[in-house]
Structure 1
């Protein structure tokens, strides 16, 4: 999303209208699922992708037609055998793509883009709403709920007129907005609602080989990894180009550096048992949604017993996943990183299924 909104901001600064192509439905062997987005300008694709191949090629063509007509539309793609060969697939599928015209002369769009980029930068809660209507589309909107312990104390809703019946219905029941990529109906308007950014950080304690392999794996699937270490040589940003942040921290007092919330994940992989123990003892006192610790079963048992001796209960220690990661037999740092990333995806998906 960052690339799309950065490109959209650049286009608006140049006074150029664009089209936002969004996959709102897919089935079978389509290249990308619902929520895939691509921004198209007069010269072609600017950012994002709807999957490449035939669907993307035709989506660019449709987008440029929408630019000329200044009229949003939706198109249903049915992938025939020849189309499937074009994108390297072996079975059929269908995809629905909405083409939303974004007028560079719309002042409310500029404000929406600025706030969207701010939310992406802060990695805080926000949802993007796309009106799929062709004749009376309200266009693009953004909703960001007020958050405790933040500078935003009131809800933000941008894009649609404040007195419109759709706006009023959404704000009267914001719960209907909280989806990752779903279509909802509100007052006769079909709206595609998607989380702008998946909130929360993955705090990685330890910048060693596994941490260095884990950061790009997490970033590739929309987590925001933050690396913490007490060794200066391991908090070099050059080691973690895809990290959200890299911090030098006192591992005996992590609260000096970060505040862990109930939307954050913790991965403990420091250089030794003592540091692991101290970090776990502190993290257990936070509302972290996930705590995982790297290490052998022997090490895990040793640290477990030491935490018990410090007064932690078995119920409290049950929050810890150790050894961290899915059991796929990984041995190398890269393999372990894959197993950890897969487990965090599994955990994140379960949260959404439960409505969290």
Structure 2
């Protein structure tokens, strides 16, 4: 088993993982520097960092880091009778000290773009300069055939793709189909299936979003959770070309990815009045 080849294989398949590596050791312990283990979202663990309590703890920590998509360097004292000022004491009797590096390997986020028109293409041109995995869905074969740079291209009806269950909670969704009708179908299906994306953005005008929200509250009820819904989409930075809109949307996604607040979102501006959130 070549663990480095496995990491490359999973990365190509857009499977996020944590690679755990023993980077430092002092005194006695069951792990040697350089030992490596990879941990997947499905609970599978491949390789070893020594077994016992340290490996059990490392697997538990890796699950947490997979959710937050972050890396970590942490030191462990393998002596349950002692305490260290920096790091964690584990229930072992070896007496040594081991430092593990948890490396998150995977995209910052998985993004689905419904609609491969001018804005969709401009978006991919921007997003693929960063570590995002992008899937574009469009019912028009001629659009998919000429599309460039996306990780995955899907030529099928929008709602049919959603019903396959590919989109997971925490993913990012951008809706810019060629028709208001299709836009509504996509968003309504997401709400109907109770998918909880990190971001669901729709390209639209203020009048369009007012009409959509009115019908949505009538159909799903006033208690429907739209906290993840951003429309009009993007940050308020100006510009109306596809490229400028793409930068506005990408900036909004970056702000959410990194948990940055205080930016002026377009969804907060409807003819100078607060929106419905």
The Cα shift of 1:272 comes to: 1.7
Give the RMSD, CA atoms, in angstroms: 2.7
Structure 2 residue corresponding to 1:255, chosen from 158, 162, 187: 162
Structure 1 residue corresponding to 2:59, chosen from 162, 166, 171: 171
Task: Give the 3-state SS of the residue equivalent to 1:133 in structure 2.
Answer: strand
| Gap change, CA 1:117 and 1:263, over 3 Å in 2 | farther
The Cα shift of 1:209 comes to: 0.5
> Structure 2: how far apart are the matches of 1:165 and 1:192?
16
Higher mean displacement: 118-127 or 295-304: 118-127
> Structure 2: how far apart are the matches of 1:249 and 1:176?
35
> Structure 2: how far apart are the matches of 1:199 and 1:156?
22
Give yes or no for contact 1:304–1:317 (8 Å, CA) kept in 2. Answer: no
Q: Taking structure 2 as the reference length, what is the TM-score of the superposition?
A: 0.74
- Which ranges of structure 1 fall in alignment gaps of 5 or more residues? 1-107, 148-153, 352-356
State the partner residue of 1:83. none
Deviations 1:99-157 (A, max 9, x none): xxxxxxxxx5x1x123212321232231123333288852152432352xxxxxx4213
Give yes or no for contact 2:201–2:230 (8 Å, CA) kept in 1. Answer: yes
State the partner residue of 2:105. 196
| Gap change, CA 1:186 and 1:240, over 3 Å in 2 | farther
Give yes or no for contact 1:325–1:342 (8 Å, CA) kept in 2. Answer: yes
Deviations 1:226-253 (A, max 9, x none): 00111111112x4222x11010121243
The Cα shift of 1:205 comes to: 0.5
Structure 2 residue corresponding to 1:278, chosen from 167, 170, 185: 185
Which runs of structure 2 are paired with 1:148-227 in the superposition (5 Å)? 154-161=43-50, 163=51, 166-171=54-59, 173-174=61-62, 177-178=65-66, 180-187=70-77, 188-198=97-107, 200-227=109-136
> Structure 2: how far apart are the matches of 1:345 and 1:273?
26
Structure with larger RCO (C-alpha < 8 A, sep 6+): 2
State the partner residue of 1:321. 230
| Number of equivalences | 233
Give yes or no for contact 2:114–2:177 (8 Å, CA) kept in 1. Answer: yes
Give yes or no for contact 1:254–1:282 (8 Å, CA) kept in 2. Answer: no
Deviations 1:276-335 (A, max 9, x none): 111110112322221111111111112222223323435433431101111111322112
| Gap change, CA 1:174 and 1:194, over 3 Å in 2 | closer
Pair 1:121 & 2:9 matched: no
> Structure 1: how far apart are the matches of 2:64 and 2:156?
40
- Which ranges of structure 2 fall in alignment gaps of 5 or more residues? 78-96, 261-277
State the partner residue of 1:49. none
> Structure 2: how far apart are the matches of 1:173 and 1:318?
29
Task: Give the 3-state SS of the residue equivalent to 1:235 in structure 2.
Answer: helix
Task: Give the 3-state SS of the residue equivalent to 1:132 in structure 2.
Answer: strand
The Cα shift of 1:336 comes to: 1.3
State the partner residue of 2:33. 138
| Gap change, CA 1:328 and 1:314, over 3 Å in 2 | farther
Which runs of structure 2 are paired with 1:306-345 in the superposition (5 Å)? 306-313=215-222, 315-345=224-254
Q: Taking structure 1 as the reference length, what is the TM-score of the superposition?
A: 0.59
| Gap change, CA 1:142 and 1:216, over 3 Å in 2 | farther
State the partner residue of 2:271. none
State the partner residue of 2:256. 347
